[in-house]
Amino acid sequence: MTAKHPYPVAPPHIRIATAQDVDDIHAMLFEIARATGCEDKFKSKPEDLARDGFGHRPAFEALIAHNGDVPVGLCLYFPSYSTFRGKAGIYIQDLFVAPEYRGGGFARHLIAQAAARARSQGGHYIRLSVDAGNIIGQRFYARIGMRHAHDERIHVLDGDAFDALIDG
């Protein structure tokens, strides 16, 4: 054990999130918003996560990493499909590790578990986006073998523009 990482050297305990975890998931998602300076854009509530992640047709799955009984990490993802590859995969929407646990393998273990779950369900790849200013995150993803898709840009349609497109 080192002073920086208050946990044993053993791999973290990671499990599939349940509806009972929505408050912890929501709190970790808010920490992502805070870290990226987007608190004002963070509108979700625990009820939204319960409805959309643990209802009749779950829109996402999440893995939670624990240090003892304390949730310290999250990987939230959903199915994806690549028509170019002709294969299914997953899209990681959110990855979070509490600051005091970073650098100790929690994020790598979370992504590896998500990849293993994807593979067990016929998945062949992971996609994600990373905040342009998150250089540490970008370096981490490169270290675990992810590559930047230089030929792609993410576009978003939401809010009034989303409604205007539908309503004509």
CB count in 10 Å sphere of residue 14 = 17
What is the full per-residue pLDDT of the chain (168 aa) written as tens digits? 344 555 554 668 999 999 999 999 999 999 999 998 999 999 999 999 999 999 999 999 999 999 888 999 999 999 999 999 999 999 999 999 999 999 888 999 999 999 999 999 999 999 999 988 889 999 999 999 999 998 888 889 999 999 999 998
Question: Quick check: is 141 catalytic?
Answer: yes
* SS3 state of residue 24: helix
For domain 13-167, give the CATH number: 3.40.630.30
CB count in 10 Å sphere of residue 58 = 12
Domain ranges for the chain, please list them. Answer: 13-167
- The catalytic position among 7, 77, 101, 141 is 141
